[in-house]
Amino acid sequence: MKTLAIALAYLAAAEGGAPTTAQFQQALADACPTPRQPTRNIRCAVEDQGSVQYRCTFEAQGANGAWAGATAILQRAEGQWVWIDGPTRCDDENPELN
């Protein structure tokens, strides 16, 4: 019984926590499937107490191979993380990442 309670507490914490690196990369890939955009140094934290959106800072590698700092907003929707806002290689407004 104690093991079940610990497992349920762990699951609840995991559901309410920030996106993992893999979840962040999946949300980015869903937002911009090609070309693949390498990322590193991903850190996500809740934007405001009580908010469902997470602000993620990261470095993205541009087409020229240079790394640039960026920020994105992710939100959990229907059990998965969704890219709400932030630069991608599919975004013409951020040529430094193209």
CB-CB contact of 65 with 98 (8 Å): no
- Say if residue 95 is preceded by a cis peptide, omega within 30 of 0: no
Number of domains present in the structure of the chain: 1
Res 34 pLDDT > 50: yes
Q: What is the mean pLDDT of residues 68-93?
A: 89
pLDDT of residue 16: 63
Give percent of the chain above pLDDT 70: 77
Q: What is the mean pLDDT of residues 42-66?
A: 90
- Degrees to nearest 5, angle at CA 83 with 50 and 18: 45
pLDDT of residue 85: 93
Give the C-alpha separation, 87 to 55, whole Å. 13
Domain of residue 77 covers: 2-97
How many Cα atoms sit within 13 Å of 77 on the Cβ side? 8
Can you give the CATH number for the domain in which 35 is found? 3.10.450
